[in-house]
Amino acid sequence: MRELVFATNNLHKTQEVSKLLLGQYKILNLNDIGCDVDIPETGNSFAENATLKSQYVVDHYQIDCFADDSGLEIAALNQEPGIFSARYSGVRNDQENLNLVLQKMKGQSNRKARFRTVISLVRNQEHFLFEGIIYGNIRETPFGTQGFGYDPIFEPEGYTQTFAEMSMEEKNKISHRALAMNKLITFLKEQA
Protein backbone atom coordinates (compact mmCIF):
# COMPACT_ATOMS: atom_id res chain seq x y z
CA MET A 1 0.00 0.00 0.00
CA ARG A 2 1.20 3.55 -0.73
CA GLU A 3 2.58 5.45 2.20
CA LEU A 4 1.75 9.07 2.91
CA VAL A 5 3.08 11.16 5.78
CA PHE A 6 0.87 13.56 7.70
CA ALA A 7 3.38 16.09 9.09
CA THR A 8 1.92 16.25 12.58
CA ASN A 9 2.58 14.83 16.04
CA ASN A 10 -1.10 14.78 16.84
CA LEU A 11 -2.09 11.12 17.08
CA HIS A 12 -5.79 11.92 17.07
CA LYS A 13 -5.55 13.80 13.75
CA THR A 14 -3.49 10.95 12.25
CA GLN A 15 -5.96 8.25 13.30
CA GLU A 16 -8.91 10.18 11.92
CA VAL A 17 -7.33 10.56 8.47
CA SER A 18 -6.09 6.95 8.51
CA LYS A 19 -9.66 5.75 8.96
CA LEU A 20 -10.87 7.82 6.01
CA LEU A 21 -8.17 6.45 3.71
CA LEU A 22 -8.29 2.86 4.94
CA GLY A 23 -7.21 0.41 2.25
CA GLN A 24 -5.83 3.16 0.03
CA TYR A 25 -2.98 4.79 1.92
CA LYS A 26 -0.96 3.91 4.97
CA ILE A 27 -0.76 7.18 6.90
CA LEU A 28 2.41 7.79 8.91
CA ASN A 29 2.99 10.72 11.27
CA LEU A 30 6.26 12.48 12.15
CA ASN A 31 6.90 10.10 15.02
CA ASP A 32 6.46 7.06 12.72
CA ILE A 33 9.21 8.31 10.39
CA GLY A 34 11.54 9.26 13.26
CA CYS A 35 11.30 13.01 12.63
CA ASP A 36 11.60 14.89 15.92
CA VAL A 37 12.62 18.22 14.42
CA ASP A 38 10.45 21.24 15.15
CA ILE A 39 10.02 22.09 11.46
CA PRO A 40 10.43 25.87 11.10
CA GLU A 41 7.18 27.69 10.27
CA THR A 42 8.71 30.93 9.02
CA GLY A 43 6.20 31.64 6.24
CA ASN A 44 3.88 34.63 5.97
CA SER A 45 0.69 32.67 5.35
CA PHE A 46 -1.02 29.41 6.27
CA ALA A 47 -0.21 28.10 2.79
CA GLU A 48 3.48 28.94 3.13
CA ASN A 49 3.77 27.33 6.54
CA ALA A 50 1.91 24.18 5.52
CA THR A 51 4.11 23.97 2.43
CA LEU A 52 7.32 24.37 4.45
CA LYS A 53 6.27 21.41 6.61
CA SER A 54 5.24 19.08 3.76
CA GLN A 55 8.28 19.96 1.64
CA TYR A 56 10.63 19.42 4.59
CA VAL A 57 9.45 15.84 4.97
CA VAL A 58 9.67 15.12 1.24
CA ASP A 59 13.18 16.60 1.07
CA HIS A 60 14.51 14.74 4.12
CA TYR A 61 12.59 11.44 4.00
CA GLN A 62 11.60 11.04 0.32
CA ILE A 63 8.00 10.07 1.16
CA ASP A 64 4.95 11.93 -0.17
CA CYS A 65 3.53 14.16 2.53
CA PHE A 66 0.77 16.57 3.51
CA ALA A 67 0.70 19.16 6.29
CA ASP A 68 -1.92 21.55 7.64
CA ASP A 69 -1.81 25.01 9.14
CA SER A 70 -4.78 26.81 10.70
CA GLY A 71 -5.77 29.87 12.61
CA LEU A 72 -8.35 32.48 13.44
CA GLU A 73 -8.69 35.64 11.33
CA ILE A 74 -10.64 38.59 12.75
CA ALA A 75 -11.75 41.33 10.35
CA ALA A 76 -11.54 44.22 12.85
CA LEU A 77 -8.01 43.16 13.84
CA ASN A 78 -6.65 43.16 10.30
CA GLN A 79 -7.03 39.37 10.13
CA GLU A 80 -5.02 38.82 13.31
CA PRO A 81 -4.16 36.53 15.07
CA GLY A 82 -3.83 34.64 11.74
CA ILE A 83 -0.58 32.71 11.46
CA PHE A 84 0.25 33.81 15.02
CA SER A 85 -2.86 32.10 16.46
CA ALA A 86 -0.97 29.51 18.51
CA ARG A 87 1.11 32.12 20.37
CA TYR A 88 -0.71 35.41 19.90
CA SER A 89 -0.04 36.53 23.47
CA GLY A 90 3.63 35.62 23.17
CA VAL A 91 3.18 32.22 24.79
CA ARG A 92 1.63 28.96 23.62
CA ASN A 93 -1.34 29.26 26.00
CA ASP A 94 -4.94 29.04 24.79
CA GLN A 95 -6.39 31.02 27.72
CA GLU A 96 -3.94 33.91 27.41
CA ASN A 97 -4.36 34.06 23.63
CA LEU A 98 -8.14 34.11 23.96
CA ASN A 99 -7.97 36.83 26.65
CA LEU A 100 -5.83 39.01 24.41
CA VAL A 101 -8.36 38.70 21.56
CA LEU A 102 -11.22 39.65 23.90
CA GLN A 103 -9.26 42.62 25.20
CA LYS A 104 -8.49 43.86 21.67
CA MET A 105 -12.14 43.35 20.65
CA LYS A 106 -13.56 45.32 23.60
CA GLY A 107 -16.09 47.88 22.34
CA GLN A 108 -15.65 46.69 18.76
CA SER A 109 -18.97 46.38 16.92
CA ASN A 110 -17.61 44.48 13.92
CA ARG A 111 -17.25 40.96 15.38
CA LYS A 112 -16.80 39.11 12.05
CA ALA A 113 -14.17 36.38 12.01
CA ARG A 114 -13.25 33.17 10.25
CA PHE A 115 -11.25 30.06 10.96
CA ARG A 116 -9.10 28.95 8.07
CA THR A 117 -7.10 25.78 7.36
CA VAL A 118 -4.76 25.25 4.45
CA ILE A 119 -3.41 21.79 3.64
CA SER A 120 -0.33 21.40 1.46
CA LEU A 121 0.19 18.08 -0.30
CA VAL A 122 3.40 17.13 -2.09
CA ARG A 123 2.72 14.00 -4.08
CA ASN A 124 4.89 12.62 -6.92
CA GLN A 125 6.80 15.92 -6.77
CA GLU A 126 3.63 17.87 -7.54
CA HIS A 127 2.24 20.44 -5.12
CA PHE A 128 -1.44 20.91 -4.25
CA LEU A 129 -3.25 23.19 -1.79
CA PHE A 130 -6.65 22.62 -0.16
CA GLU A 131 -8.48 25.25 1.88
CA GLY A 132 -11.31 25.17 4.39
CA ILE A 133 -13.00 28.26 5.83
CA ILE A 134 -15.79 28.73 8.36
CA TYR A 135 -17.24 32.19 8.96
CA GLY A 136 -18.61 33.39 12.26
CA ASN A 137 -18.52 36.03 14.97
CA ILE A 138 -16.45 36.68 18.07
CA ARG A 139 -18.50 36.56 21.28
CA GLU A 140 -17.94 39.16 24.00
CA THR A 141 -17.49 36.47 26.65
CA PRO A 142 -16.34 32.84 26.41
CA PHE A 143 -18.92 30.04 26.39
CA GLY A 144 -18.52 26.25 26.53
CA THR A 145 -15.89 23.80 27.66
CA GLN A 146 -15.31 21.55 24.62
CA GLY A 147 -12.60 21.90 22.03
CA PHE A 148 -9.49 24.04 22.32
CA GLY A 149 -7.92 27.35 21.35
CA TYR A 150 -10.40 30.07 20.46
CA ASP A 151 -13.43 27.72 20.42
CA PRO A 152 -15.18 29.36 23.43
CA ILE A 153 -15.38 32.76 21.68
CA PHE A 154 -16.19 31.66 18.11
CA GLU A 155 -19.84 31.34 17.09
CA PRO A 156 -20.18 29.97 13.55
CA GLU A 157 -22.62 31.76 11.25
CA GLY A 158 -26.09 30.21 11.34
CA TYR A 159 -25.58 28.76 14.84
CA THR A 160 -26.36 30.01 18.33
CA GLN A 161 -23.62 28.03 20.07
CA THR A 162 -19.88 28.57 20.15
CA PHE A 163 -17.56 25.83 18.88
CA ALA A 164 -16.82 25.05 22.53
CA GLU A 165 -20.50 24.34 23.22
CA MET A 166 -20.72 21.84 20.36
CA SER A 167 -19.82 18.17 20.57
CA MET A 168 -16.70 17.13 18.68
CA GLU A 169 -18.90 15.35 16.11
CA GLU A 170 -20.93 18.52 15.48
CA LYS A 171 -17.86 20.71 15.15
CA ASN A 172 -16.15 18.19 12.88
CA LYS A 173 -19.06 18.37 10.43
CA ILE A 174 -18.57 22.08 9.77
CA SER A 175 -15.07 23.07 10.86
CA HIS A 176 -12.42 24.68 8.67
CA ARG A 177 -10.15 21.69 9.29
CA ALA A 178 -12.85 19.19 8.30
CA LEU A 179 -13.66 21.14 5.13
CA ALA A 180 -10.01 21.23 4.03
CA MET A 181 -9.47 17.60 5.00
CA ASN A 182 -12.55 16.49 3.04
CA LYS A 183 -11.14 18.21 -0.06
CA LEU A 184 -7.83 16.40 0.42
CA ILE A 185 -9.52 13.02 0.95
CA THR A 186 -11.73 13.47 -2.13
CA PHE A 187 -8.66 14.37 -4.20
CA LEU A 188 -6.65 11.37 -2.94
CA LYS A 189 -9.53 8.98 -3.63
CA GLU A 190 -9.93 10.33 -7.16
CA GLN A 191 -6.20 9.87 -7.80
CA ALA A 192 -5.96 6.38 -6.29
Given 51, 70, 120, 162, the residue binding ligand IMP (CB under 6 A): 70
Stretch of residues binding ligand IMP (CB under 6 A), selected from 26-34, 70-78, 123-131, 135-143: 70-78
Amino acid at 10: N
Does the annotation count 69 as an active-site position? yes
Question: CA nearest 30: which of 83, 68, 1, 2?
Answer: 68
Stretch of residues binding ligand IMP (CB under 6 A), selected from 26-34, 121-129, 143-151, 182-190: 143-151
CA distance 154 to 157: 9
- For 74, the enclosing helix (H) or strand (E) is strand 65-74
- For 122, the enclosing helix (H) or strand (E) is strand 112-123
Determine if 147 is a binding residue for ligand IMP (CB under 6 A): yes
- For 26, the enclosing helix (H) or strand (E) is strand 25-29
Given 19, 148, 158, 190, the residue binding ligand IMP (CB under 6 A): 148
SS3 state at 162 = coil
Sign of CA dihedral 146, 41, 176, 55: negative
CB 72 within 8 A of CB 54: no
Residues 82-141 that bind ligand IMP (CB under 6 A): 85-86, 97, 115
Determine if 162 is a binding residue for ligand IMP (CB under 6 A): no
75-91 in b/e form (b: 16+ CB < 10 A) is: eebeebbbbebbebbee
Question: In whole angstroms, how close is the CB of 147 to ligand IMP at the nearest point?
Answer: 6
Question: Does 11 belong to an annotated binding site?
Answer: yes
Question: Does 13 belong to an annotated binding site?
Answer: yes
Question: In whole angstroms, how close is the CB of 181 to ligand IMP at the nearest point?
Answer: 11
Question: In whole angstroms, how close is the CB of 122 to ligand IMP at the nearest point?
Answer: 18
Question: In whole angstroms, how close is the CB of 173 to ligand IMP at the nearest point?
Answer: 13
Given 56, 150, 165, 184, the residue binding ligand IMP (CB under 6 A): 150
Contact positions vs ligand IMP (CB under 6 A) = 69-72, 85-86, 97, 115, 147-151, 163, 175, 177
Q: Give catalytic residues, as residue numbers.
A: 69
